[in-house]
Amino acid sequence: MKMQKTEDRNSDREIIDNDNSSPSKTIDDTYVEITLDIREDTVAVHSVKNASGANIVEEAEVEVLGLAKNVKKKHSFGASVVRNTSMRMRQVAQELKLLASLKKQQPRPFDRTNSVAAHHALKGLKFISKTDGCAGWAAVENHFDELSATSDGLLPRGKFGECIGMNRESKEFAVELFDALARRRNITSDCISKIQLKEFWDQIANQCFDARLRTFFDMVDKNADGRISSEEVKEIISLSASANKLSNIQKQADEYAALIMEELDPDNLGYIMIENLEMLLLQAPNQSEGGKGLNRNLSHMLSLKLKPTVETNPIKRWYKNLNYFLLDNWQRVWVVLLWIGAMAGLFAYKYVQYRNRAAFDVMGHCVCMAKGAAEILKLNMALILLPVCRNTITWLRNKTKLAAAVPFDDNLNFHKMMAVAIAIGVGIHVLAHMTCDFPKLLKASPEKYKPMEPYFGDQPTSYWHFVKGVEGVSGIIMVVLMAVAFTLATPWFRRNRIKLPRPLNKLTGFNAFWYSHHLFVIVYSLLIVHGIKLYLTQEWYKKTTWMYLAIPIILYSGERLLRALRSSIKDVKILKVAVYPGNVLALHMSKPQGFKYKSGQYMFVNCSAVSPFEWHPFSITSAPGDDYVSIHIRTLGDWTSKLRAVFSEVCQPLPIGKSGQLVAECLQGENKNLPKVLIDGPYGAPAQDYKKYEVLLLVGLGIGATPMISIAKDIVNNMKAKEEDDLENRHENPNPTSQKKRNFKSKRAYFYWVTREQGSFDWFKGIMNEIAEMDPKGVIEMHNYCTSVYEEGDARSALIAMIQSLQHAKNGVDIVSGTRVKSHFAKPNWRNVYKRIALNHTNARVGVFYCGAPALTKELRQLALDFSRKTSTKFDFHKENF
């Protein structure tokens, strides 16, 4: 009896090949294929075929009926046939029912013919990934020629990884790969020729999964006995962890090796075979094929829709792009146009005014240009203070509806634009005077100069006449101070991108930027003096400089005074200090009375032990419902470095066994010598508007996750509070105050945190576990990405992924992040992230909030624009600015 198993959607079928016939019969008579449908309590004949494949169900039925009819005529023979047939059918039915029941009880073996598994296998165990340097054999051959030039045409074992394009972090992994390939070919030398390298390359570049699996198995099986021991598993785990910069996993290699042996060696044989390794590596995703196929089709259709189409008509193309631009930037456009219009109007007004004065006859259009530029300069020197009046902007954002038309989130961008306009205005004003007006006054004839005597006195004979006066001295000092402040505010100096020798290195960094910016106190004072001592204007009411500056200066001064008073009144106590790896300091402080904030907002922090004058902004990481205020500070500059050093000194380092990755910790009461900290805020930020959106995409890079953590926690708190309110008000009249308090739209959030180092996940480990515990319905879908780990499918991360799956399934904890949130490897495919949200939330408006390095801003903003224009889902992009 031979059995061949097939599957059906509603039943299990067994194909029975009967080969017990007598040898005297032909093949067609001796070989019969019967397909049965096995259900819970019945067995039905599905089809009967002979060896040629012809369906003989009807003939078989006729023969059986015929046997039944002739049973009386041929009693002995007929009875025996019927008896044998029925017994055989009963036996088969019993056996097949037993197999079906066992099949339901036992796990189904891995099916290599499964399409999903085959696709998964094709992606797995790649020894050369797209992030590596070599694109093919030609590049490898060139590397070989360079590296073997000094070694007699042979490639040393230690340079194998460099030759095939692996990075330096993978050097040890590359050496083990070299040894495995050499063992397979019985090569004992530490050097190989180009021909041998070509054989190595052909094997590791082979697209066949079985070949890759064999290579990976050979790497682990160092003694080449065809078995992998626990010690060998431990070694390859340490090697993979080192290549992926996962120090925590490297320290726990023994534990994870035991976990793999427990899974793959249930009989405690002490070793695992290649079949066991294959089974674990190729576990197909447990997803519905129908749903997956549907999503794949929709995703493909969306991809086709998102393909860029080139408009051949340049006018239509220009109109289309302009229309898109205006739709996306109409708030910025009207503000900028109003600003440019105001500058143009003031310039034209002054130009025409001096065009009709006596000075024009002497100095010509130069004096008109100088005075027009001066008027623009006065306007921008007034306006530039408004974007940094943070209390005013926060009040306007929260208490008025102006936020719908005014882009408050771009306050610092407008501040920079006005700074550029000021620089241009200063340049035109100075050049017009120095290169045109003053030379003309020096060279003018006495008759032509005579109308200027009431303003300049006797005709000057040198430039010194203009420089020695109050106007000249104040102007020169202002230009110098502005040049210093503008230069040190550029990204190259502010972010330490320029490395200067000592002592000039003090000119770079945030401290230099902060102190140089306060030189504008002197600049504004001199500007008022300069405006009062004008050469060509005598009447006080025409000296308008102080009129431009009065209100902005009073407003800004009031804000600074409010900060000083508020920070001194709102005393805070340090509740907890934690120093994490990755140079991160966490401060938990008591919440001052009346300190109310929204998730996504930030506050300024001052520590007199570092600097009594400096205030620095940091996002609030605690949720509004917490009874404390917390911030996480990444050491990036001189002030933050000193702050971390000050708190590290007073906090004793904890034992490794007690703290894990925590470097130092200090709780309230343990140390009374903690530095005093002042806070000022809260201040409005783009992320605080998250409640306007039903669907959120939160993206944080590194320490940029701080505002997103607060938002995620606040969403869970709000959802929980809303459920409690609904439960309380189900049989009672709704409480209007409670309903207003819980008035938020957010129902779904996708949180993506991308960081380079494994230790970074310790910053918010407790908060992320808390969110996961408080969110059983999965309102917030959290994704952690560790970019130091090679992408999924790379052989260098294959074992890490294997351990990750086992550990998460067994204990519910991710081995990379140490949280309940399962981590992903390498960088996210942001286009797929947007696509997935667009498919899941059609006709929805999604709020995209990003905080992190500027490099990713352009990509995320452009994707938001593309998907908003070509799908029914609209993405509103917001970037955090400080």
- Listing DSSP states for 602-642 in one string gives EEEEEETTT-SS--EEEEB-S-TTSSEEEEEEE--SHHHHH
Half-sphere exposure of residue 244: CA atoms within 13 angstroms, side-chain side: 32
Helices (H), 651-749: 656-659, 706-728, 736-741
Residue 421 to residue 129: CA distance in whole angstroms: 48
CA-CA distances (angstroms) from residue 849 to 266, 307, 519, 751? 48, 25, 35, 10
Q: What is the pLDDT of residue 445?
A: 80
pLDDT value of residue 306: 58
Pairwise CA distance, residues 802 & 282, whole Å: 10
Element (H, E) at 311: none
Tell me the C-alpha distance between 784 and 778, whole Å.
15
Cα distances (Å, whole numbers) of residue 29 to 14, 65, 71: 20, 19, 22
Whole-angstrom CA distances from 546 to 195, 367, 540 are 83, 21, 10
**What is the C-alpha separation between 797 and 699, in angstroms, rounded?**
24
With left for phi above 0 and alpha for psi between -120 and 50, is residue 5 left, alpha or beta?
beta
Decide: 127 and 215 in contact? Cβ < 8 Å: yes
Nearest to residue 414, comparing CAs of 488, 518, 494, 333?
A: 333
Q: How far apart are CA 130 and CA 636, in angstroms?
A: 31
In this structure, the dihedral spanned by the alpha carbons of residues 114, 115, 119 and 120, taken in order and rounded to 10 degrees, is: -40
CB 147 within 8 A of CB 164: no
Candidates 99, 124, 118; CA nearest to 15 is 99
Q: Which two tokens stand for residue 483?
A: 């040049």
Question: Could you give the CA distance from residue 472 to residue 463 in angstroms, rounded to a whole number?
Answer: 10
Tally of CB atoms within 10 A around 755: 24
Is the pTM higher than 0.85? The answer reads no
Written as six digits, the tokens of 683 are 């201040």
User: Which portions of the chain are predicted below pLDDT 70?
Assistant: 1-125, 128-135, 281-311, 568-570, 652-672, 723-744, 881-882
**611 conformational bin, left if phi > 0, alpha if psi -120 to 50, beta if neither:** beta
Does an H or E element contain 824, and which? strand 823-825
3-class SS letters over 185-237: CCCCCCEECHHHHHHHHHHHCCCCHHHHHHHHHHHHCCCCCCCEEHHHHHHHH
The answer to whether 687 and 751 have CB atoms below 8 angstroms apart is no
703/635 Cα distance (integer angstroms): 10
What are the distances in angstroms from CA 108 to CA 100, 103, 105, 279, 283?
12, 7, 9, 11, 11
- Picking from 276, 278, 200, 242, the residue whose alpha carbon sits closest to that of residue 796 is 242
Question: Do 586 and 576 contact (CB within 8 A), yes or no?
Answer: yes
CA geometry: angle 45, 51, 54, nearest 5 deg: 65
Would you state the structure tokens that stand for residue 542, as one six-digit string?
Answer: 């025409």
Cα Rg of the chain (Å, integer): 39
Cβ–Cβ < 8 Å for 589, 768: no
Q: Nearest-CA neighbor of 872 among 688, 689, 695?
A: 695
The pLDDT value recorded for residue 725 is: 66
Residue closest to 344 by CA, chosen among 376, 368, 320, 390: 376
The amino acid that residue 245 corresponds to is: K
575: three-class secondary structure by DSSP: strand
Q: What is the DSSP-derived secondary structure letter of residue 592?
A: P
Coil vs helix vs strand at 55: strand
Q: Which two tokens stand for residue 64?
A: 């059986």
The pLDDT value recorded for residue 13 is 39
CA 510 to chain centre: 25
How would you classify residue 752: left for phi > 0, otherwise alpha for psi between -120 and 50, otherwise beta? Answer: beta
Going across the sheet that includes 628-634, the strands are 628-634, 584-590, 574-580, 664-667
**Cis peptide before 503, with omega less than 30 degrees from 0?**
yes
- Where does residue 245 fall: left (phi above 0), alpha (psi -120 to 50 degrees), or beta otherwise? left
Q: Give me the phi and psi of 572, to 5 degrees please.
A: -125, 150
Cis peptide leading into residue 682 (ω within 30°): yes
Nearest-angstrom CA–CA distance, 157 and 163: 10
Nearest to 395 by CA among 250, 559, 533: 559
Beta-bridge partner residues of 37: 13, 44
Rounded to 10 deg, the angle between the 365-383 and 545-569 helix axes is 20
Rounded to whole angstroms, the Cα distance separating 225 from 241 reads 25
CB 117 within 8 A of CB 284: yes
Q: Cα(431)–Cα(298) distance, rounded to whole angstroms?
A: 62
Tokens of 189: 């030398």
* Residue 663: per-residue pLDDT: 56
